[in-house]
Amino acid sequence: MAEGGRIRASCALLRNLVLAGLTYALIFGIIQVLQSPSGTVKGKLGIPAFLDKSGPADIIKTTKAGVKVKFATTSNLVTINPHANVFNRPKSAVQPKDDYMGPRPHVDTEADLKMLVEECRGTYNGIEKMRNVFDCLEFLSDGSDRYYTLPDQPYRASAQDPRKAEYASADNQNNTLSAYPSHSESATANKTTIGTCPGPIVPYHVYWTGPATWRVEVFIKSYLYTQNLACSRLWLWLDSDRHPNAVDKMLHSDPLFARFLPFVERGDIVLQSWKFPNHIPVPKSEDAANKNTNIEYYKSPGKPNSKGETAVADGIIEDQDGQQWLVLTPKQMTFLPQAVSDAVRFVVLHLHGGAYFDMDVLMLRDMRPLLLPKEHSFAERWAAHQHPGDYNTAVMSLTANSSLSSYLLRGGVRMGLNFHPRVIGRMAWKDGRDKEFLMLETAAFDPIWTEFNWDREGRCTVPCLRDYSAAFKGKAASAKDEWESYDGPQLEQIDAEQLGTVTETRSEDLKPRSLDTGIRNAGGRIYRRTTSDPEGKRSDGAEVATPPGGHEPSSSSSSHGASGSEAPDPDSFSTTSAEEAELRSQGVIAEYIIEEDKYPPNNRTLENFFRGAWTYHVHNQWSKHPEPSSWMNVLEVAHNGFFAGERTNPYGEMWEGPSLMPYNYWPEFV
């Protein structure tokens, strides 16, 4: 028995030695093959697994997921699928209509703000229409002939005296001209000059803290894409209380904002240093004598101080010229980001007039008609809350140095510099001043807020998005039932040949089809323009959406939006034409195959992105990046095409301004 065990052990040892030798020989052979130039292993995608570095883009290796590439502007490797990537993906599966808004409104056009309120709200107490966002958007889109008017010549904004204008430097000469330039003397913006406005120039205000990110870029581009540039100015207020060199850094050391420096030079963008003022001018007491104000003036003012200033009320002084000032002490000032953001809008609008926008608000239409009426103080409703004091101030306008702006300003100061819109709004309602501060419904500026809170009545909006992250999603399944309320005609579909190389089956699927067939994407789902049949039945051919959590955005995150960013966006990158040419020559950018694409082209176009709304509120979403083919990417593509001189804006205008770099790429979506 013992001798048999020794024999078995010897056999096992011999077997192991033989296997070890074979394994060593195999490994050595593989190494020799890899080291031989003629034995280079081909990757799964048919590209050599290791290439010499040649050209500006370094091709590192191929993997199962794609080809790893190092671009000059990235710190990390980027994985590219040669058959479906941002370089060869068709921009859309349908032909977009860029000039869907028609000609831009006349420079003196005014909106009937009260009509906008009543058509979308109903009666003041009943608010019968408030939750029906679809009907409101339809009115805003199709009813401009009712709510837009061009006043008779003597009453137009352009016919008024610039020296009496409420807007700061409305004539671009510090309000010193006796008349605005005539229409024959006016000029549109071009590559070198911002042009001449035949009327008052309206300031647009936005607040930011920290370095520029994608949020700053997309906001500025949406402004340049939609507004009458000769007749507006974008004032970017940078927090200099916490960052004393904020303006200097933005001008000289911010790589993303550098692309906008020509617009600073041309005058489109004005960088302003935000510091809490210790003296804020307010109208004289007699100007507000017949108003229900929150200022209780002293019956017997005190004696003038050494500067000739007299205390006329708590926190109010009057100088030797009769100008009254709201005085803030250092103890009253706040430097908490959200509180600063809430306060900035009330201070700058009181001082300079115009409109304020949170940085996460994207412009879709020309705002000018809303800002020209004599009474143009307004904000938005907080979701579908019924209380008449529940405002949201992500978009807001106030008449400068007015009784109302002074009232709201002093109210916030007296409440400990609390300018939260619902706090300020309820104060105004309690004092009977809310009707001076018009409340526009959410459809105008934030069309899915009612949907998000499960308060919507009637049909869903177009597109039917049920949470704020949906606008950033571009995968095949992301469309869900977003076309359920669409009644318009099917957009012209792009021929299969323009979509790249696809299989015969897919090629047939992508050809123009009848109205009830639509476009089939790589996932096999059909997305189509929906119609109503004679019996009123709807067809959308899309998946049923998974209901999101039906809750309200918190006041600290998604309510009216912090205007700053806690940290810069993660690394994005751009490419040069030489880099793209190198990738094509190496086969890294190959023929497009739709089955390979996680983000296939679809039928989303900006024409049907909440048409009628003036803005779309992203509601922060600071960490989100727009996936290819998402609604946000559709906006990016429209911007890129416009600034490249290849497409028009919604008003059919071609870009004639300075060159502007396209959006960078996000590595995770390449």
> What CATH number corresponds to the domain at position 385?
3.90.550
For residue 533, pLDDT over 50 is answered with no
For residue 201, pLDDT over 90 is answered with yes
Does a structural domain hold residue 284? yes
For residue 591, pLDDT over 80 is answered with yes
In the prediction, which pLDDT does 376 show?
96
Does a structural domain hold residue 345? yes
Q: Token match 């001008």: residue?
A: 251
Nearest to 594 by CA among 90, 32, 50: 90
> Any idea which of 40-54, 131-145, 339-353, 590-604 has the lowest mean pLDDT?
40-54
Number of residues that make up the chain: 670
Report whether 375 contacts 399 (CB < 8 A): yes
Report whether 315 contacts 329 (CB < 8 A): no
Report whether 541 contacts 518 (CB < 8 A): yes
The CA-to-CA distance between both ends of the chain, in Å, stands at 68
| Alpha carbons 547 and 87: distance in angstroms, whole number | 34
Domain containing residue 244: 115-121+205-225+232-446
Bridge partners of residue 269, in order along the sequence: 234
Instruction: Return the higher-pLDDT residue of 515 and 162.
Output: 162
- Mean predicted lDDT score pLDDT of the chain: 82
For residue 167, pLDDT over 60 is answered with yes
Does a structural domain hold residue 216? yes
In the prediction, which pLDDT does 29 show?
63
Assign 32 a pLDDT band (cuts: 50, 70, 90): low
Does a structural domain hold residue 397? yes
In the prediction, which pLDDT does 455 show?
84
| Alpha carbons 626 and 487: distance in angstroms, whole number | 27
Does a structural domain hold residue 295? yes
Report whether 177 contacts 158 (CB < 8 A): no
For residue 128, pLDDT over 60 is answered with yes
* Phi, psi for 108 (deg, rounded to 5): -105, 5
* Those residues with Cβ within 8 angstroms of residue 151's Cβ, 6 or more apart along the chain or in another chain: 108, 110
Out of 188-197, 292-301, 308-317, give the one with best mean pLDDT. 188-197
For residue 35, pLDDT over 90 is answered with no
Does a structural domain hold residue 611? no
Helix, strand counts (H, E) of the chain: 15, 22
Report whether 506 contacts 514 (CB < 8 A): no
| Alpha carbons 436 and 18: distance in angstroms, whole number | 94
Does a structural domain hold residue 257? yes
In the prediction, which pLDDT does 367 show?
98
Averaged pLDDT, 142-167: 96
In the prediction, which pLDDT does 594 show?
93
> Any idea which of 210-219, 347-356, 508-517 has the lowest mean pLDDT?
508-517
Type of residue numbered 103:
P
Q: How many domains does the chain have?
A: 1
In the prediction, which pLDDT does 86 show?
94
Instruction: Return the higher-pLDDT residue of 45 and 581.
Output: 581
| pLDDT, tens digit (0-9, with 9 covering 90-100), for 406-425 | 999 999 888 878 899 999 99
| Alpha carbons 138 and 154: distance in angstroms, whole number | 32
How crowded is residue 107: how many other Cβ atoms within 10 Å of its Cβ? 23
The Cα angle at residue 455 between residues 452 and 459, in degrees rounded to 5: 90
In the prediction, which pLDDT does 610 show?
98
| Alpha carbons 39 and 50: distance in angstroms, whole number | 11
Does a structural domain hold residue 219? yes
